[in-house]
Structure 1
């Protein structure tokens, strides 16, 4: 029952977001309580518990601490047939920044690593220095398997935690 209530609150909130743009004209007297209720729904449905923020920060920090060198070497030296130049790095970073900002403004999920490595591949291709197909293949395989692997692992952890808590 609780899941359905939360889903209904979220759907109502999203409908309320679109209604002023697509629905009938509303008076100022209608807009004030409408906005107030939408804010209440936002606060009730769009939150992240503190323990989740801490766990994600620790996981990202530990992952970066352990795997930073492999990531840097792969992105900087192994995507193209030559090493990344400063201009290529700056171009890839600027494109990644604009892409991530654009996706964020539309509410679309993106992976910063995927965007940046694609930007690096684009600069290498534009420079004519060539791309290492084996590295691109490995990156693409990792992209394809990330989502199902994360789904299976999270499902498994949920099952384990659910079994332990009974």
Structure 2
């Protein structure tokens, strides 16, 4: 039964990584596809490859995000009961990912996972590291999209000033080419951030099952399987969310798409390697898109859509937590 529980947890963790990929694939490529800098399939293939590369880079150059997930949010559970807790938090996160994907809302897979951790932890009566939640989750959740908005706004102002006398058609063609690079950087940042979260949860399951400790290195099979799962999910595509990010917030052009992706990828690298915070790729790129849109005029951003996205952000932690708690209560009632 012990081995069955561990295998189940690993399989569900990889399932979460897959949903993360198709849910968040729009983060890296929505702007490039909407401006026709890349075709949808080419963009998805590029994003999948860069996610795979980012997964390896993120772990080998520090692994701070994975470490935060493993021991910075809740006390690492142990034994068979611990495996049920990890199972419950993953199911809660997957449920919220699927719901928001269905309605085309670019919510955060990262915060769905963390909400699931908190909900399952509270339901099971284990310690929640509230200081870590505040420093590594809540504070970055509030500041990162604001930073993305402000930096993207001023970068776009700089681009408009620098190319104010240039021929518009030539500028558009040049930024379409540049967007290929910025979209690749964005996909790389997504892989650096999000694959580490799945790795952290699998390691939590291995620790609960007695097959690893908090100081153990990450086995190669965990790194490879997590990276492949998120890359396959990315290639599967997230067309509903892609339409929301690429078309419904503002009408993007190549210079604005380039500015949004450049700022968002920079914030992702900073939070992964300097802050070690599991931030939301979705929130950062959305804030950046709003920032470049605000340089047009106030009405260029469809604020009604933005309010719906903001509501999804606010409800992600409690709703994913409630789903995870419900799953834990059900499994606890059935299996004890």
User: The TM-score by the shorter chain falls in which range?
Assistant: 0.5 to 0.7
Aligned to 2:76: none
Counterpart Cα distance in 1 of 2:332 and 2:311? 31
Match runs of 1:3-152 below 5 Å:
50-51=10-11, 53-61=13-21, 63=23, 68-80=238-250, 83-105=251-273, 106-128=275-297, 130-152=300-322
Counterpart Cα distance in 2 of 1:150 and 1:113? 16
Listed one character per residue, the Cα deviations across residues 59-117 of structure 1 (whole Å, up to 9, x for unaligned) are 3356578882221111111112xx11112111111111111111112111211111111
Counterpart Cα distance in 2 of 1:135 and 1:62? 21
Counterpart Cα distance in 2 of 1:78 and 1:110? 23
Listed one character per residue, the Cα deviations across residues 24-45 of structure 1 (whole Å, up to 9, x for unaligned) are xxxxxxxxxxxxxxxxxxxxxx
Aligned to 2:67: none
Counterpart Cα distance in 1 of 2:22 and 2:331? 22
Secondary structure class of the residue paired with 1:127? coil
Structure 2 vs 1, CA of residues 122 and 147 (structure 1 numbering), >3 Å: closer, same or farther?
same
TM-score of the superposed pair, with normalisation by structure 2:
0.32
Counterpart Cα distance in 2 of 1:67 and 1:157? 28
State the Cα distance separating 1:132 from its structure 2 match: 1.0
Structure 2 vs 1, CA of residues 119 and 62 (structure 1 numbering), >3 Å: closer, same or farther?
closer
Q: Is the 8 A contact 2:22 2:238 kept in 1?
A: no
Listed one character per residue, the Cα deviations across residues 1-54 of structure 1 (whole Å, up to 9, x for unaligned) are xxxxxxxxxxxxxxxxxxxxxxxxxxxxxxxxxxxxxxxxxxxxxxxx744541
Say which one has the larger Rg: 1
Structure 2 vs 1, CA of residues 103 and 155 (structure 1 numbering), >3 Å: closer, same or farther?
same
Aligned to 2:325: 155
State the Cα distance separating 1:127 from its structure 2 match: 3.2
CA-based RMSD of the aligned residues comes to 2.3
Secondary structure class of the residue paired with 2:294? helix
Structure 2 vs 1, CA of residues 104 and 152 (structure 1 numbering), >3 Å: closer, same or farther?
same
Tell me the matched-pair count: 116
Unaligned 5+ segments in structure 1 are 1-48
Listed one character per residue, the Cα deviations across residues 118-137 of structure 1 (whole Å, up to 9, x for unaligned) are 11000101233621110111
Aligned to 1:11: none
Structure number with the bigger relative contact order (C-alpha 8 A, sep ≥ 6) is 2
